[in-house]
Amino acid sequence: MMQGRSGNCCWLCLVLVLLSCTACAEPAGDVIEGSAGSRLMSESFGAFSEPWAMTFLPDGDLLVTEKPGTLFLVSPAGRSRVPVRGVPEVAYGGQGGLGDVILHPRYEDNGLVYLSYAEEDASGKRGAAVARARFHVVPGGPELQSLEVIWRQEPKVTGSGHYSHRLAFGPDGHLFITSGDRQKLEPAQSWKQNLGKVIRLNADGSVPPDNPFRDKGDLARTFWSLGHRNLLGIAFDGEGRLWTHEMGPRHGDELNLTIRGDNYGWPEVSWGDHYSGFPIPDHDTRPEFNAPELYWVPTIAPSGMIIYEGSLFPAWQGTAIIGGLRSQSLIRVMIQGDQVREVERFDMRRRIREVELGPDGAVWVLEDRDGGRLLRLTPEK
């Protein structure tokens, strides 16, 4: 049955009201105590369907991705959310779907946002892609315009794990992309595949002339580092140093100071073993590979990370805040020069997928899986 314009408007209003009501769920109001005595107040801003990433806009609103393929514009102040049109089709399943979202460093001038996601080719093989688009709020609602793909994992392969595809801009304006090994192991050491690497590009997807592996082939010109497994956290510290974390196989998760041109050893070395129980040589057996600054046995299953630079937690300045999936925790890691150690752990009772710094210095997290909440964490008063 055809509807007139007024019918369409009423339907749209109903959808927006329903979405807003979902986002208006009662705050959690929980107090969470850390292992070192910190006490956090947790406030909920609604639940999502497999949320994966978020980023703050200059006005304090957020963009939040859901793995099945929806991008939301979320207003914490109004406790509302609206779907964003123009999101690319994603290959949903396993660890694949819509992934990270970040802003261009000059977003207020150009309106550019960057998305990562899994895509599928005609043969059914999959790989990660990164696209950029201009974000606009128009009379019909928020939308992405002029979307263009600027990077892809090569080659596409079978399976639906270890895309990684976390994004971050460095202090010099270059775009860094974590590219997982896609559970194929050996490509992490290959110069002819960009799996198992950290990628460094210009903001438009072109290759910077000072990348470290320009003499290793066309694809290798994009590499910043190699020998990685599944990197689900990336952040720069106050000194401009790049940190990434990655899931180990069976235990042996890593936090790495990720240095230009270095090899991090996967799959030749690890502090974990294969899921079958078959051992992998430890890092100290192969000193030519860069060993992690910190590792975890048993696993925490790290996901999401910030280097805290806010004002609400003065004692946390310069520390890494890492989400834990299997550990269902939030983990605080001290970074002081070459000294890196875990200093506090918060039992969140839910898998934590994403961590972000709010404009007022609060720590925001997304819980994992269907029904995962958007939480704002502040010091208990």
Do 177 and 165 meet the contact criterion of CB atoms below 8 Å apart? Answer: yes
Token reading at 287: 């000193």
Distance of alpha carbon 322 from alpha carbon 295, whole angstroms: 13
Q: Residue 57 corresponds to which amino acid?
A: L
Distance of alpha carbon 160 from alpha carbon 73, whole angstroms: 27
DSSP 76-113: TTTTEEEEPB-PPP---BTTBSEEEEEE-TTHHHH-EE
CB atoms within 10 A of CB 123: 8
Collapsing DSSP to helix, strand or coil, 45 comes out as strand
Q: Residue 328 corresponds to which amino acid?
A: Q
Do 224 and 258 meet the contact criterion of CB atoms below 8 Å apart? Answer: yes
Do 278 and 253 meet the contact criterion of CB atoms below 8 Å apart? Answer: no
Q: How far apart are the first and last CA of the chain?
A: 56
Do 168 and 235 meet the contact criterion of CB atoms below 8 Å apart? Answer: yes
Identified catalytic residue from 104, 162, 165, 245:
162
Q: Judging by beta carbons within 10 Å of its beta carbon (0-12, 13-18, 19+), is residue 225 exposed, middle or buried?
A: buried
**H or E element that contains 10:** helix 5-23
Is 104 considered catalytic here? no
What amino acid positions are annotated as catalytic residues?
162
